[in-house]
Structure 1
Amino acid sequence: MNAVELVVLAAIWGASFLFMRMGSSEFGPVPLIALRVGIAALVLLPVIFSATSRLHVRSHWKPLLVVGLTNSALPFCLFAYSTLYVNAGLDSILNATTPLWGALIAFVWLKVSLTRDQILGMVLGLAGVLVLVWDQLGAGQGTQTLAILAVLLATLSYGFAGHYSRRHLVGLPAPLTAWASQFFSVLVLLPGALYWWPQHAVSDSAWWAVIGLGVVCTGLAYVLYFRLIAHTGASYAMSVTFLIPVFGVAWGALFLHEQVGVQTTAGCLVILLGTALATGKLQLLQRLRAA
């Protein structure tokens, strides 16, 4: 049953790139994400009903604000911007670099030593990104290059948020952290959302996309993610990272008719291999030396 839930979660988060690509061109990145986190905050609202939860929010509002900015508001907007110029499948694959940034931040900020396998994993991860984006960089397409850099900045932000949460939000219930991060994201994004609110009529498909993002890909997904953490542990739950690109590419090809070529497949495999090494899921050099 846990494996089924993991696959369902990967399918949901893989679909988020599809929904962002469907909605960002009509809403614009900031209004789209403001709606996404606002809807998610409403979905998760029951977690704040108790007096204890409200006390936690009041006493930890500063770190919760930082997490809301770095784990939701900023990366979500960067991903939404990127979907204006690159396809959903590519975005979902580049999202898998998050653990690579996490390992690098742990080394630079927290002084956590890296094994040779982890260093090899980072090098492979970078190589995989270059394989994926080489055509765009070589063609000199400035907007696509900026979009790819935006995705990498988003995953860097995710990596920072993960370590920051573990240092400053220890002991807080995970669902409460999820709600608070969405709530503070709304506060941060609201002025920009009002300023950039679309002046034209928005199609029904774009509205359905934002509802899917908020209700399913954020609210429901967080509930499922924290359920997995409770039942199987954080390490097992975080392995969803390896499955998201499969669904992101599949949904993009199925619903948006995005092309999946040899270069995309190769880049995806190299990034996933690098991520597995950098996060300790695979010990390649140790096994070779043992053999």
Structure 2
Amino acid sequence: MRSNKWFYLIVLSVIWGTSYILIKKGLDGFTAIQLGAVRIVIAGLFLFLIGFKSLKTISKEEWKWVAVSGFIGSFFPMFLFAFAETEIDSSIASVLNSLVPLFTLFLGLLVFGVSFTKNQFLGVLVGLIGAGFLILFGQNVNPNQNYWYAGFVIIAAIGYAGNANIIKSKLQNVSPMAIAVGNFATIIVPALVILPLSGFFSNEVTSGKFFWSSLGYVIVLCAIGTCAAKIMFNKLIQLSSAVFSVSVTYLIPIVGIFWGLLDGENFSLKQFFATLLILLGVYLVNKKKTPKKAS
């Protein structure tokens, strides 16, 4: 079981680290709203094809948590990341997503009453300071970009953190496949409403220069970065802990920065040190120590 969780962690890091550049390429042909909606629809169809029968295993009581998990862990983040990358580089988005373990601990403490240590709280502070520096330095490196949009990534990270705690505390007995399919069963309906309203099917979009290439990137993103990865992530949470599972963000920035540099993005030495500060915070959050109970 221990070796399995490390396997899932590494594979997920590579998959999700690549997701940010795929989102960026998808935005060449689509708006942020179009990208978020079509991503949900395509991913939902993929999941229904391979796991529709698993929905029968979800009890009536569990469905409400599956729905909440779907919206805060998939629906809103897909739109938020798309909006963020209209203004900031994909590499910056991948680094800021490293805040997820910090928010996982914080929400676990406030909402679910999990145990904590002084090191973990120190880690949260260090990580947030690192994120602040990353945004500050980024404004100097890319003055033409609006770094207020980094806030969308931070909101999405909070959503991911809440999702990890919900799966660990409320859906431990539901199969990873059922959770993933159930998530999209609840969010595909609003996405199907948003997609035509967004102008996705207009001639202006479908005849655009980047329509087919962007759609191709989105399909890859959905099949691997959303469907396969979501099932693996749900399994990882059940094999380990909520905090360990989101430690996938240790390695995601490495992959994300690599793809960003390959695509011509700027990433300064100062931003690199800010990234290390965030990862130091994540390390402190995951460091083992005798816990105190939340009061």
Superposition map of 1:207-246 within 5 A? 207-226=215-234, 233-234=240-241, 237-246=245-254
Cα distance in 1 for partners of 2:106, 2:84 equals: 23
Instruction: Give structure 2 stretches of 5+ with no counterpart.
Output: 290-295
Q: Which residue in 2 is equivalent to 1:289?
A: none
Q: Are 1:30 and 1:189, in contact at CA under 8 Å, matched by a contact in 2?
A: no
Q: 1:8 Cα shift?
A: 2.9
Q: 1:15 Cα shift?
A: 1.0
TM-score under structure 1 length normalisation: 0.85
The percent identity for this pair of structures is 27
Q: Which residue in 1 is equivalent to 2:213?
A: 205
The answer to whether residue 154 in structure 2 is matched with residue 147 in structure 1 is no
Q: Which residue in 2 is equivalent to 1:175?
A: 177
Deviations 1:21-69 (A, max 9, x none): 111242222221222222222322232225xx32526553322221111
Which of 263, 266, 269 aligns to 1:262? It is 269
Q: Are 2:88 and 2:149, in contact at CA under 8 Å, matched by a contact in 1?
A: yes
Deviations 1:99-137 (A, max 9, x none): 111111122223445321011101110111011011456
Cα RMSD after superposing both structures: 2.7
Q: For residue 215 of structure 1, what is the amino acid of its counterpart?
A: A
Cα distance in 2 for partners of 1:215, 1:208 equals: 11
Q: 1:64 to 1:207 in 2, by over 3 A?
A: same
Q: Are 1:121 and 1:274, in contact at CA under 8 Å, matched by a contact in 2?
A: yes
The answer to whether residue 90 in structure 2 is matched with residue 80 in structure 1 is no
Q: 1:184 Cα shift?
A: 1.8
Cα distance in 2 for partners of 1:110, 1:229 equals: 16
Superposition map of 1:57-76 within 5 A? 60-76=62-78
Deviations 1:149-169 (A, max 9, x none): 111111111112222333433
The answer to whether residue 281 in structure 2 is matched with residue 281 in structure 1 is no
Instruction: Give structure 1 stretches of 5+ with no counterpart.
Output: 284-291
Q: 1:139 to 1:49 in 2, by over 3 A?
A: closer
Q: Are 2:20 and 2:91, in contact at CA under 8 Å, matched by a contact in 1?
A: yes
Q: For residue 242 of structure 1, what is the amino acid of its counterpart?
A: Y
Q: 1:228 to 1:163 in 2, by over 3 A?
A: closer
Cα distance in 2 for partners of 1:218, 1:161 equals: 15
Q: 1:107 to 1:49 in 2, by over 3 A?
A: closer
TM-score under structure 2 length normalisation: 0.84
Q: 1:107 to 1:9 in 2, by over 3 A?
A: closer
Cα distance in 2 for partners of 1:101, 1:22 equals: 28
Q: Secondary structure at the match of 1:44?
A: helix
Cα distance in 1 for partners of 2:141, 2:9 equals: 38
Q: For residue 269 of structure 1, what is the amino acid of its counterpart?
A: L
Q: For residue 283 of structure 2, what is the amino acid of its counterpart?
A: A
Q: Secondary structure at the match of 2:29?
A: helix
Deviations 1:218-244 (A, max 9, x none): 1122344456567x6456654322111
